[in-house]
């Protein structure tokens, strides 16, 4: 008998089973090998190589500047660190909105070059042709509705979306379209909790929320936010599990002090 415990890889079907039995889905972003390995070893269900890499890794104001090559670089690094979690890579702005042929080519590049399990796109009706074509190519798609950061210049603000009836109705109809197209899960960002719960109860597709309340099928956060590495970003939905910014600055400060005082390296720390 093998002494190694078999690792059961999380698949899109596993997520569906989790929704059916009422087990919540955990999802977190990661952008590099070392962090992805830790997140996977902690038994995260889904790891998202989010285009939030544009903000937290590259220091951009928005997610718009990140390129397909950069997302592929992050995706490749993450996949190498993951054994169990389902890995989803965000399709960056400008690689799927133009036309569905370009969309499927971008998605194929992501899958071929990163070896990830799926891609994520923002939008409903407007991008449904791209979603259909990518799924037809055999690539699992995660949808993303509500606050869609790639459209920030259209909204002009990051406030809660779909508070009014008309926008809420459009969101529900978009979610149904994405389900019909065959999306295996949908992210709902920053919408009223009652709307999140409604969408989750009306759809068979697992719904993962970020600021969409507790009535959805799972939760996602940006790892830099929940670990307290980013300090300036404090929306109501964010729970900080650590204050890593203070810990990192403390450790770095101690190292500087030790170097300056000639305490580091000591006799045992040299050859």
* Smallest separation, CB 132 to ligand KIV (Å): 21
| Identity of the residue, 48 or 175, whose beta carbon is nearer to ligand KIV in the bound complex | 48
What is the closest distance, in whole angstroms, from the C-beta atom of residue 182 to ligand KIV in the complex? Answer: 20
Parallel/antiparallel/unpaired status of strands 218-221 and 207-210: parallel
189 is catalytic: yes
Closest CA to 28 of 52, 47, 9: 47
If the CB atoms of residues 30 and 177 are measured against ligand KIV, the closer one turns out to be: 30
Q: In the complex, what is the shortest distance from the CB of residue 231 to ligand KIV, in angstroms, rounded to a whole number?
A: 17
- Distance (Å, rounded) from C-alpha 90 to C-alpha 188? 14
Chain contacts with ligand KIV (rule: CB under 6 A): 29, 48, 50-52, 90, 187, 210, 220, 222
Q: Active site residue: 61, 167, 180, 189, which one?
A: 189
Shortest Cβ contact with ligand KIV: which residue?
A: 50
The Cα 198–Cα 217 span in angstroms is 11
| Residue 50 C-beta: closest distance to ligand KIV, Å | 2
Task: Classify 59 in phi/psi space as left (phi over 0), alpha (psi -120 to 50) or beta.
Answer: left
Give 230 or 267: the residue with its C-beta nearer to ligand KIV: 230
Q: For residues 5 and 239, which CB has a smaller minimum distance to ligand KIV in the complex?
A: 239
Question: Where do we find the tokens 């009422």?
Answer: 22
CB 15 within 8 A of CB 9: no
Q: Which helix (H) or strand (E) holds 38?
A: helix 33-41
Catalytic residues: 189
């Amino acid at each position: 008998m093998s002494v190694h415990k078999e690792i059961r890889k999380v698949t899109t079907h596993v997520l569906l089973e989790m929704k059916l039995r009422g087990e919540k889905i955990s999802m977190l972003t990661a952008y590099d090998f070392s962090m992805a390995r830790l997140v996977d070893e902690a038994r995260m269900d889904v790891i998202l190589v989010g285009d939030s890499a544009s903000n937290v890794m590259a220091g951009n104001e928005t997610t718009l500047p990140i390129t397909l090559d950069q997302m592929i670089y992050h995706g490749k690094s993450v996949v190498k660190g993951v054994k169990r979690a389902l890995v989803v890579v965000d399709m960056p702005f400008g690689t799927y909105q133009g036309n569905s042929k370009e969309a499927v080519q971008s998605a194929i590049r992501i899958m071929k070059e990163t070896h990830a399990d799926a891609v994520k796109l923002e939008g409903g009706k407007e991008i449904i042709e791209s979603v259909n074509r990518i799924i037809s190519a055999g690539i699992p798609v995660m949808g993303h509705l509500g606050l869609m950061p790639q459209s920030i210049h259209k909204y002009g603000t990051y406030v809660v979306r779909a508070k009014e009836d008309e926008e809420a109705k459009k969101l529900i109809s978009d979610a149904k379209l994405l389900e019909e197209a065959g999306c295996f899960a949908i992210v709902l960002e920053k919408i009223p909790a009652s709307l999140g719960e409604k969408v989750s109860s009306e759809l068979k597709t697992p719904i993962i929320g970020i600021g969409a309340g507790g009535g959805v099928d799972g939760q996602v956060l940006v790892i830099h936010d929940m670990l307290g590495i980013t300090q300036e970003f404090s929306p109501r939905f964010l729970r900080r599990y650590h204050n890593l910014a203070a810990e990192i600055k403390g450790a770095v400060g101690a190292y500087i002090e030790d170097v300056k005082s000639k305490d580091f390296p000591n006799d045992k720390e040299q050859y």
